């Protein structure tokens, strides 16, 4: 049976959209889940969401090793099977078991997010990669937006939180079934390396580019997590506009990545405008302005410029000289592990700063602004080194 690369991409994209819906839905239903389990401690309830975040640290770190041993079809099947474990959530009536279910689901999501880049390299030509990279980068946002804006309609259809989460997870089960039928390994995976060795995480840690790539995105991801964890409590209700603007930014980013032959100018301009937008988002808290319109405009700009350069950032990594699907798997394993590591620690530090200032968010938001500056700083430190084939493909696209 001939494998259709577009079907492979559609299944990967759909699986991560559903993962985003399941994660965001589980977080949205924390009060109901706590009542179901008889929990009264909000800190304990927060672990329902944190279990997924913790799993992402482990999953992203081991993803490249799993991919190199199992190859794409089995590795992705494992990831999708773990995400489908979320279907057990409505049937679990024990807090420790619920955390385990959420952890396993998060582990599957972590594996998939690393596999996007090497699978795109395997199946798509250089000129096609910006579009597919952009599509993958927005998958989680699509899932989150579906929950943020569509949850009332879903509850109208399914009546309760249990059936709603079950329906989302059954979508993940369907993706797994289709992948087992239509998924495939890439041709390059079956070819051994010239010297018989594999590219390891240890080797990846020695490469300057991998550290710069992770540094560039880690602060932006941390800010994004903090935004949705704390900003509404701080009185910034416009935070939800970041999601909508992010969708528009991704579409524009895909178009620009296909038109531009150099990646770094877009990364640097976006990093600067992202930083300025984040500062505008804090204008009321810092006492700079009482204009709610400024905060709304800043939220829209922040979302747009956070997501505008992501397609080019991922494509830049794939275009590095000597890059192979195996090497890019290691690059993005480290990329996501280091990014999620900072994004896991940063919300705690943000909350600590608020507590130290007795509920004043000013200093904490200065910390969030500092985090969002890594995109600009990292892009200034990177160099534009590209494979000739990738450069020619971009010019002809």
pLDDT digits (tens, 9 = 90+) for 317-345: 999 988 888 899 999 999 999 999 998 88
Q: Which among 389, 325, 330 has a CA at the least distance from the CA of 193? A: 325
* Cβ atoms of 194 and 324 closer than 8 Å: no
Cα–Cα separations (whole angstroms), residue 200 to 78, 147, 263: 21, 38, 27
Mean pLDDT computed over 287-313: 92
Contact 236, 251 (CB under 8 A): no
- The predicted pLDDT at position 17 comes to 96
> Higher confidence at residue 304 or residue 27?
304
Of 16, 113, 20, 128, whose CA–CA distance to 67 is shortest? Answer: 113
Angstrom distance (rounded) from CA 309 to CA 267: 5
Of the pLDDT bands very low, low, confident and very high (cuts 50, 70, 90), residue 219 is very high
Distance CA 130, CA 257 (A): 6
CA dihedral 109→112→114→119, nearest 10 degrees, is: -170
pLDDT at 292: 85
Conformation bin of residue 322: beta by default, left when phi > 0, alpha when psi is -120 to 50: left
List b or e across 316-329, with b for residues whose CB sees 16 or more CB atoms inside 10 angstroms: bbbbbeebbbbbbb
In percent, how much of the chain has pLDDT > 70? 90
Assigned token pair, 227: 């935004």
**Beta carbons within 8 Å of 287's beta carbon, 6+ residues apart:** none
What pLDDT is attached to residue 1?
Answer: 53
Q: Could you give the CA distance from residue 380 to residue 265 in angstroms, rounded to a whole number?
A: 9
Cα separation, 377 vs 335, in Å, equals 16
Give yes or no for residue 195 having a pLDDT over 60. Answer: no
Rounded to the nearest integer, the mean pLDDT of the chain is 87
């Amino acid at each position: 049976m001939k494998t259709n690369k577009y079907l492979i991409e559609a299944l990967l994209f759909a699986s991560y959209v559903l993962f985003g819906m399941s994660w965001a839905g589980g977080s949205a239903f924390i009060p109901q889940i706590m009542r179901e389990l008889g929990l009264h401690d909000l800190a304990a309830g927060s672990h329902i969401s944190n279990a997924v975040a913790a799993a992402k640290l482990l999953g992203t770190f081991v993803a490249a090793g799993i991919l190199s041993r199992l190859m794409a079809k089995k590795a992705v099947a494992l990831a999708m099977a773990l995400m489908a474990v979320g279907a057990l959530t409505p049937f679990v009536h024990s807090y420790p078991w619920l955390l385990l279910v959420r952890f396993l689901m998060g582990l599957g999501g972590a594996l998939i997010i690393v596999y996007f880049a090497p699978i795109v390299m395997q199946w798509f030509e250089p000129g096609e990669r910006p579009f597919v990279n952009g599509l993958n980068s927005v998958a989680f946002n699509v899932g989150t937006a579906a929950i943020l804006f569509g949850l009332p309609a879903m509850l109208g259809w399914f009546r309760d939180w249990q059936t709603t989460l079950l329906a989302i997870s059954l979508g993940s089960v369907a993706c797994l079934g289709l992948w087992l039928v239509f998924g495939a390994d890439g041709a390059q995976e079956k070819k051994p390396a010239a010297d018989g060795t594999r590219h390891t995480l240890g080797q990846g840690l020695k490469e300057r580019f991998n550290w710069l790539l992770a540094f560039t995105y880690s602060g932006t991801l941390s800010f994004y997590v903090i935004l949705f964890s704390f900003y509404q409590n701080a009185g910034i209700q416009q935070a939800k506009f970041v999601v909508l603007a992010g969708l528009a930014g991704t579409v524009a980013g895909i178009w620009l990545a296909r038109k531009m032959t150099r990646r770094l100018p877009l990364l640097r301009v976006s990093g600067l405008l992202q930083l300025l937008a984040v500062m505008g988002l804090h204008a009321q808290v810092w006492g700079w302005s009482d204009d709610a319109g400024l905060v709304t405009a800043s939220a829209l700009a922040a979302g747009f410029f956070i997501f505008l350069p992501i397609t080019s950032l991922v494509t830049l990594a794939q275009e590095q000289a000597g890059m192979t699907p195996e090497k890019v798997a290691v690059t993005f394993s480290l990329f996501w592990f280091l990014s999620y590591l900072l994004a896991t620690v940063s919300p705690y530090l943000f909350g600590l700063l608020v507590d130290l200032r007795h509920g004043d968010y000013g200093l904490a938001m200065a910390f969030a602004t500092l985090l969002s500056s890594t995109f600009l700083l990292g892009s200034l430190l990177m160099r534009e080194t590209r494979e000739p084939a990738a450069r020619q493909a971009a010019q002809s696209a």
